[in-house]
Structures are given as C-alpha cells and as structure tokens.
Structure 1
Amino acid sequence: MPDIDAYVARLAARPRVRVIVLLAAGAIAALGQAPFLIWAATLAGLLVAFLFWRHSRSPRASALQGWLFGLGYFTVTMSWLVNPFFVEPERHGWMAPFALLGMAGGLALLWALGWGVARWLVGGGRLGWLIWPAGLAAAELLRGALFTGFPWGGPGLAWIDTSYAQMASLVGVVGLSWLTALLAAVVVTACVRRNWSSVLGAIGLVLLIAFASGLSIAVTPPKGDITLRLIQPNAPQHQKWDPDHAEGFVRRQLELTATPPEGALPNLIIWPETSVPYLMRHAQLLFPLIAEAADGPPVLMGIQRAEELRYFNSMVQVNADGIAQPVYDKHHLVPFGEYVPLGDAMARIGIRAFAAQYGQGYSAGPGPVVLDLGALGKVLPLICYEAVFPRDIRNAPERPDWILQITNDAWFGDFSGPQQHLIQARFRAIEFGLPVIRVANTGISAAIDAHGRVIKSLPLGQSGYLDVIRPDAGPVTPYARVGDWPLFLLLIGVAGWGAWTRRRF
C-alpha cells in the first residue's frame, strides 16, 4: 500500500490526470444508487477520493477535488433530471444538459465546501481519517436544509438492500453516509500505515454491525385486517393533461377501482398524485362516479384545487356519498418546478410573473398533518418528493400509524428516477419504524414494511391495481426521537477537536 500511496501522490500532482480520476471515481461511486445498487462501487469511489484528498496541499485544492468528485457523482445520480425537459422536447429539450450539469455542479459545491474546510481543520495533523468523513457528512446535512433542501442521492442510500441499512433507524441516511466515508478513510489510513490489525478490525466491525442490524428484522407477513387498494393508471406525462387522453386515464382508474377483489374487500382506495387532470371545482360531476366505482370504501386521491388565484397540489377524500373534501395541501414544494422562490416577494414591487398569489405556480399548504381515518388508523400524507425529507416526518404533530405517499413519477422517466424515489421512501420506513404505502402514477407503487422491505409492488410502466394488507408499525426508533441532532453535535465535536489540534501543532 505505501507504493500505491506514492503512486497516487504522483497522479495527484498531475492536474489533467487528477481531474479525470476524480470525475471517474465520483461516477463509479454513483453506481451505488438505484437502479444499480452496487454498494461496493460507492465504497470504492470514496476510497479513491480519500486517497487523493490526503495529497491535496491546500483547502482550495481540496475543495476543487471535492467539486470534481461531486460533479461526477451527481451527474450520474441525477441523470433522470433531463426527463422533464423531454415532455415537450421541441420547447424545452435544449435545456436538458444545462439543467443536469447545473444541478450536479451546484450540489457538488457543497461537497467542495466540506472537503475544503476539512483540509483547513487538518492542517499538517494526522486526523484526516476522522475529519474528512465529517466534512462530507456536514455537507450532506447542509444539502438537506439549504434553500429548502434537496437530500436526494446521498451515499448512504447505497446500503438499502443490505442489513447495514437498518442502521438508519439510529443515525439516518446522512449518518450512513458518514459511516461509509469513515470506513473508506479508516481502511485507507490503516493500509497506508501498514496497520493491518486496524484494517481487519474496521471490516470486522462493519460485518458485526450488519449482522446485529439484520437480527432486528423479523421475517413475518404483515398482520392486521386493513386492506388497501393502490391504483396505478400509468399515464405518460406528455399525455396526462392532453384533452384527447385525459378522460381515458380517468376511466381507467374508475375501472381499476371497480374491479372485484380476489380476497378481502378493500377498506380504502388510493389514487396517485394529480390523478384527476382537472381542477377540483371542475370535477364535481366526477366524484359521484368515483364513489360508485368504489362501492363503499372512501377514496383518497390527488388533485389540483384553487382558492381565488392560488393553486394547491392537494389530496382529497371522496366519501361513499360522492362528496369530496380536501384533507391535505402539499407544503414542501419543488423550487422552480412548482413555484419560483421569492415570487410572492417580487409581487410587492410590481413583478407578478412569478408570484404564486397571482396563479403563477403552486402555493404551499400550512405544513405536515396527520389524518385520523378511524379504524384505518392515523396516516401522515406526503405528496411526491416530500418523502425525501425526514424532517417533514419528524415535524408531524403526532406519530402516525402509517405513511402514505402519492406521487407522479412520470416526470422522472422510466429508469433511475422512479427507482431512486422508491429507495428514499424505503429509508423513511426504516428511519421511523413506520410502514409506507406508495401510490405512483406510472410506478413504482408499493407497500413497504417498517424495516424498509417491499412487501408487494407494481412495476414501472404498468397499469393495474394492488390490494395489500397494510403492514404494522414498529416501535419508535431512536432516529425518530432525536433526528440528526446527535450527528450534528458529533460533527461539531470533530471540528472542534480538529481546530484545537491544528492550533496546537
């Protein structure tokens, strides 16, 4: 390993080689994300990244390395981002590469900041193996909060199909990302110093944690007698709002709703996000037809509604009498996708083109709510990408019995985007010990148990329905109680230790 370390030092001194290697390492690390889920690739990419970071000579050089690695990582991870621009390719297709590279480069800036600060804290000391992972984790915490946050595609997500994923119930996804980077840094440092016992100890500890985490998973079928029907119409985005096709998709959902079950009658029927392509006030004649198709159980569905000039991305409940009432308005909106930041503020100085209060985009609902559905339990509704934010679940007024996510993943294409979205929902189940029911327009609709396992699902690009027994909730997890605060305090402690050591030496 010392020879390899010297070889890396020579490579790191060659700018062009350094750029190529770090971009490639980032792209390889991204193969840990869905649909590939090669966790070893994420670990290998981080090993290379830390090897190069050790040989950076200044915070500025370290920051550049972090940006290059992040650019490669997020370009591959976020490749699905080009799909919305090809819904109307003749108008927006030209923007796709600029949007992808702009997003990847912007997210990579946070990793650059974390790596640069980590190098400054280390100085000439020997604590790089501890401070570099802390810099990455701090950048991930910041990424989840800055400008309303976008914690999509963190390295910790690569562990979803391993026992190691259950650690998220203690430390969350960002904590898993920190542990992954820490493992890479410890292995590299121990090998460079020829401390083989430390290498074996680190690997053994990871295996022990994975084994212990796996013991917490009980392989039992979901209990209870609550049956849910999930409706997946499979409406392509370029046709969803087309008047020539919209009515057909509504009819398809009515037919799927009315299909006799093979087993128990459903207690609740759920349609996906914006499943009715009309404003709520224009769909009054449709609600009795939905109630008739359901033949008894209520229907939860996504629809757009308006209050004067404000529009909301909403969930409504249609009861057996055919009367619909709003039950939830999406509160965590997508910047530039569902609203323009500061749009309402600009309206005060006469610029109304971006103001939600004048009908330009959606307005946000008041916040998380927990719906009491009586015998069906208490449910926390989430619409689309709200499921990627653990803090929105922690901010709920009370602990629900289950989580419901309705979404329209047709925007994300039919490859990596919807699958990555599903992985995030599975981690919310692990973090909070709650089952997640996911109903998607084009897929992947699924019932997820409190350990993040998919009990039953409908694949991408297929219309149909899924009758599932709602899994039971597990005990309250440590992460549900305290969130990322222990990790935040740990990172503060590591930074303080690094600063003290730097000053001392």
Structure 2
Amino acid sequence: MRTAAAAFVLGAFCVLGFAPFDRYFAAHVAVWPAPTLALAGLFLLWRKASTARQAMLLGLAWGAGCFLFGVSWVYVSLSEFGGMAPPLAAASTLLFCLYLALFPALAGGLFLRWRNGTARDVLLFAGLWALTEWLRGTLLTGFPWLAVGYSQSPPSPLAGWASVLGVYGVGFVAALIAGLLGEMRATGWRKPGAWAAIVLLLGFGGLLRLMDWTQPTGSPVTVSLLQGNVPQSLKWDPKRLPLSVETYLRLARAHPATLTVLPETALPLYFNEVPREVLRGLTRHGDALIGVAVGTTRGGYANGAVMLTPELTASAYTKRHLVPFGEYPPPGFAWFFRFARIPMSDFTAGAARQEALSFNGQRIAPNICYEDLFGEELLDALPAATLLVNLSNTAWFGDSLAQPQHLQIAQLRAIETGRVMLRATNTGMTAMVNPDGIVAAALPPFTTAALVVQAQGRTGLTPYARWGNLLALLIAVGACLTALRRKIFPKSS
C-alpha cells in the first residue's frame, strides 16, 4: 500500500514539469526535470517489485496520479458545459484517467517480466516507456496528452531532440536519463559512464537546439490572431449569435492585418449561412482564415477552417482527426449523448490528405483544436506548407490546466516541423511560437483581444519531418532488444 501511494505521489509530481508550472516557478527553479525525477522514482519502485502484477499496480497508481492531476479538466467539459450530472461526470473522468493509466501499468508488467537485473534494465525501461506512450497516442484514435516529451519544451536542453526524434523520442531520452539516475541511486553514484551518458544526452540536446534545419522563404506577413473570449455557455445560444459576430468584426476592424485568423467554430453557423456583409467585414483589410462548420460533398458537416479572400473566394481545410464523444459518437456509444448535451457532436471527418492553403506567397497548413497533438499527422502538409496555424476553442475546459498545456504541445510541434506555429483560440492561449519552440508572443487567457504578429514562412525539412515517429520507435525497439539480448540469444551472450 505504501509503495502504491508513493507511486501515486510520483505521478502527480510529474505534472509539475508541464505548463503552467514552468511559468509559476521559472524565476526560482527549473521544473522541466520533475518528470524525469518522477520516472526515476518509478524505475526504483519497479526495480524492487517482486511480481509483474505488483509492477503493473505500481504503474497504474503512477498513471492515476499523473492523469487525475493533469487532465481532470475533462470533468469541466462534461459537467459544466456538457450538461452531464456531476456524479456521472466525475465517474466518467475517473474511468478515463484509469484507462490512460493502463499504459504505464503495461510498461511496468513487461519491465518486470523481461528485466535481467543488470544495467541493461535502464534501456528496457526507456524503450518500454516510449513504446507505451506511443501506443497511448495511437490506440482507439489516441490521446497523447501529457506525454513526457511535452514537458521538455524550452528551456529544457532535451527540447532539441524533438527536431530529430519527435516528442516520443524526447520521452525516450528523458526516461533513459531517469533510468540511469535510478540505477545509480540503487547501486552507487560513482559511475563515470552513467554520468557521462547523462551529460552527453543533455549536451547533445542543447546542441540540436542550435541547429537551423529550415530556411526563411518569402517576406514576413502580418497576421492578426483574434481571441473572442465568448463564454461557452453563451456561444451556441441562438439569441447570443450577434455577440459572437460583433465581437470578431470589432476585433478585425481594430487590428488590421494581411491575414486575420478566427478560432475554431468562431462563428456558430454553417459557412453558407454567414451573411455576406459579415464576410466582407472580416476581409476588409486582407484575407481571413475563419473557423466555421462547413457542409461536405458526402452530406453532413465538418469542422472547418475557411480561407477567404477580399473577393470572397473561398478554399477550406476540414478537420481530419475528430474527438471521440466530443465531435462524433464512437460505434456503440450513441447512448452517451443521452447524458451529455454537446452541440455539433456529429461531425464528418475531412479527407486524410489535403492541400495547404495559399496566401500571399505562403502556404498555410491549418490544424483544428487537438489535431496538433498528433505530430506525425501534421507532416502530411510538408514540405509544401510554410506556416502552421492552429484554430482552437478550449473554452470547453474552463480556467484549467488545459490551455497552457495545449500551448506547450504547440511548442513541440514547432520544433518538430521547423515552422512557426500560429494559434488563434477563443479563450487562450492565443500565441505565436517560433521554430525553436520559444513562445514569441501570447495574449493573456480569458481576455477579448487580438495578437498582431509578423510571421516568417519557412521551407525545408527537419529530420523528424522526414522520418516521423519511425526513428524514435526503432530506437525504442532497439533498446528493448539490446536489454533482452541474453534472453533472446542465451548462448551467444
């Protein structure tokens, strides 16, 4: 029981390494090592476990602490805005977090079953951690939120690894350092080889942060990112429709730019229902990228981003990776919507491959809401796309950890792709992220404002943009096979 409680506390401690805690404590102490230290503690607990079942329970407890603390904002969307009864929303949130905790549990069970009691266990630990995080981000459409690699956004030196290995590779490196620290804690700190490995991993990550994998193309463009701050409780009320429309028209008029970007479903209408005078108002100073529902050729409607010129010529991107339960009912779960009232919850997914949208000599690759959690999917638009633009509405989650965590995710996407990431959100965080992962500018959340920035398009490919997650997965599998060599080839070792 004590070890399970320790694992739970370690999982909760891991969340302190993610946003927004990096901003709370930045002036006094760096928080990016927290997830690595939390993993080092988990490695020690697994190392002392006597059975695979015990290791799985410890992994489950660690995951429960991490996800209950880190993604409990799901409760807000279900209860406060989804209309679900609080007890049912609390139970649903608990079950969701326990589902996510199954992946650290799986890693723990496999670790104890396969470990051989040598220093190679460090490789097995890191490899299993990376592989189970990738599995969590893939299985059943995936939910990679709080993957350890996201915590290593700048100023962490490990952020540089993202341009080569992506977020799962960064998680592998963090877990490898954690395993080395845990092994030294258990067997003695006087291990020059382990210390040298840690220094090399940190140092090489720092050097990779200095690499400029992509090059500027064209002239910088002026972009106005609008943050309407329209309350979620009012957004879909037909009587309040003029509130949304007037808010964005006023912001567009007051903050002219070559490109004006509105958040996800900023206009709570179908695109063909938006009055032409509203469209003309939004494009008075230049093009506009508008978050709005659009009809599809297959019937139904899609969550869209419409690029509109002053001549009202339109081209569109439609969201490909939909949110289960929020944007469509998974097969067999239509009953869920008897307990929750979620507007526009039956979207049609967009085509798997879509052309980047042309604008002023640049090519824009939009992504909508949590699509930017799936780094490999964003690579389909490269190398053609020169700018990335995320349109989000995280008002569903209230004033919670969701908004700063989502911005931190965008930081890793910018590093992985070597592109500027622009974010227009309803309530926050509206921001511009540079290709090195540094947040160049951001609006305070829950304010009605516009962020006007100069965005530089870029061309070229990072190693991650060329290989996607393949390189990180090969390294993780290779680490596991190296650790298991004696079991696989007992005579040769």
Residue 104 (structure 1) aligns with: 97
Question: Could you tell me how far apart the structure 1 residues matched to 2:446 and 2:37 are?
Answer: 33
- Structure 2 counterparts to residues 321-360 of structure 1, below 5 A: 321=311, 323=312, 325-342=314-331
Measured after TM superposition, the shift of residue 301 of structure 1 is 0.4
Measured after TM superposition, the shift of residue 425 of structure 1 is 1.0
Question: Could you tell me how far apart the structure 2 residues matched to 1:491 and 1:200 are?
Answer: 21
Residue 269 of structure 2 aligns to a residue whose secondary structure is strand
Question: Match for 2:237 among 219, 228, 242?
Answer: 242
Question: Match for 1:182 among 176, 200, 210?
Answer: 176
Using a 3 Å threshold, how does the CA distance of structure 1 residues 45 and 260 change in structure 2: closer, same or farther? closer
Residue 270 (structure 2) aligns with: 279
Residue 295 (structure 1) aligns with: 284
Q: TM-score, normalised by structure 1?
A: 0.87
Using a 3 Å threshold, how does the CA distance of structure 1 residues 309 and 416 change in structure 2: closer, same or farther? same
Question: Match for 1:212 among 186, 190, 207?
Answer: 207
Q: Which runs of 5+ in 2 are unaligned?
A: 23-30, 339-343
Measured after TM superposition, the shift of residue 190 of structure 1 is 2.6
User: Looking at both structures, which has the greater relative contact order when contacts are Cα pairs under 8 Å and sequence separation is at least 6?
Assistant: 2
Residue 327 of structure 1 aligns to which amino acid in structure 2? Answer: A
Residue 435 of structure 2 corresponds to residue 450 of structure 1:
yes
Question: Could you tell me how far apart the structure 1 residues matched to 2:89 and 2:58 are?
Answer: 25
Measured after TM superposition, the shift of residue 213 of structure 1 is 3.3
Question: Could you tell me how far apart the structure 2 residues matched to 1:211 and 1:387 are?
Answer: 24
Residue 256 of structure 2 corresponds to residue 256 of structure 1:
no
Residue 141 (structure 1) aligns with: 134
Residue 502 of structure 1 aligns to a residue whose secondary structure is helix
- Moved runs in structure 1, 4+ residues, more than 6 A? 220-223
Residue 300 of structure 2 corresponds to residue 310 of structure 1:
yes
Residue 172 of structure 2 aligns to which amino acid in structure 1? Answer: W
Measured after TM superposition, the shift of residue 473 of structure 1 is 2.0
Q: Deviations over 1:285-324 (max 9, x none)?
A: 2x33331353241211011133585121111233323x36
Question: Could you tell me how far apart the structure 2 residues matched to 1:117 and 1:410 are?
Answer: 39
Residue 424 of structure 2 aligns to a residue whose secondary structure is strand
Measured after TM superposition, the shift of residue 93 of structure 1 is 2.9
Count of aligned pairs: 473
Q: Deviations over 1:37-91 (max 9, x none)?
A: 3222212211211111101122222212111111111111112212212434764
Residue 6 (structure 1) aligns with: none
Using a 3 Å threshold, how does the CA distance of structure 1 residues 75 and 91 change in structure 2: closer, same or farther? closer
Structure number with bigger Rg:
1
Question: Could you tell me how far apart the structure 1 residues matched to 2:43 and 2:445 are?
Answer: 37
Residue 9 (structure 1) aligns with: none
Q: Is 1:125–1:501's contact at 8 Å kept on the other side of the alignment?
A: no
Question: Could you tell me how far apart the structure 1 residues matched to 2:321 and 2:107 are?
Answer: 26
Using a 3 Å threshold, how does the CA distance of structure 1 residues 199 and 156 change in structure 2: closer, same or farther? same
Residue 416 (structure 1) aligns with: 401
Question: Match for 1:403 among 388, 393, 396?
Answer: 388
Using a 3 Å threshold, how does the CA distance of structure 1 residues 500 and 98 change in structure 2: closer, same or farther? same
Measured after TM superposition, the shift of residue 125 of structure 1 is 4.9
Question: Match for 2:161 among 160, 163, 167?
Answer: 167
Residue 58 (structure 1) aligns with: 51
Q: Is 1:303–1:313's contact at 8 Å kept on the other side of the alignment?
A: yes
Residue 193 of structure 2 corresponds to residue 198 of structure 1:
yes
Q: Is 1:164–1:210's contact at 8 Å kept on the other side of the alignment?
A: yes
- Structure 2 counterparts to residues 353-502 of structure 1, below 5 A: 361-396=346-381, 398-473=383-458, 475-502=460-487
Residue 276 of structure 1 aligns to which amino acid in structure 2? Answer: L
Identity %: 29
Question: Could you tell me how far apart the structure 2 residues matched to 1:202 and 1:360 are?
Answer: 49
Question: Could you tell me how far apart the structure 2 residues matched to 1:115 and 1:341 are?
Answer: 29
Question: Could you tell me how far apart the structure 2 residues matched to 1:374 and 1:90 are?
Answer: 40
Two-structure CA RMSD over aligned residues (Å): 2.8
Q: Is 1:405–1:436's contact at 8 Å kept on the other side of the alignment?
A: yes
Question: Could you tell me how far apart the structure 1 residues matched to 2:401 and 2:242 are?
Answer: 29
Residue 111 (structure 2) aligns with: 118
Name whichever of 273-282 and 423-432 sits farther off. 273-282
Residue 38 of structure 2 corresponds to residue 45 of structure 1:
yes
Residue 228 (structure 2) aligns with: 233
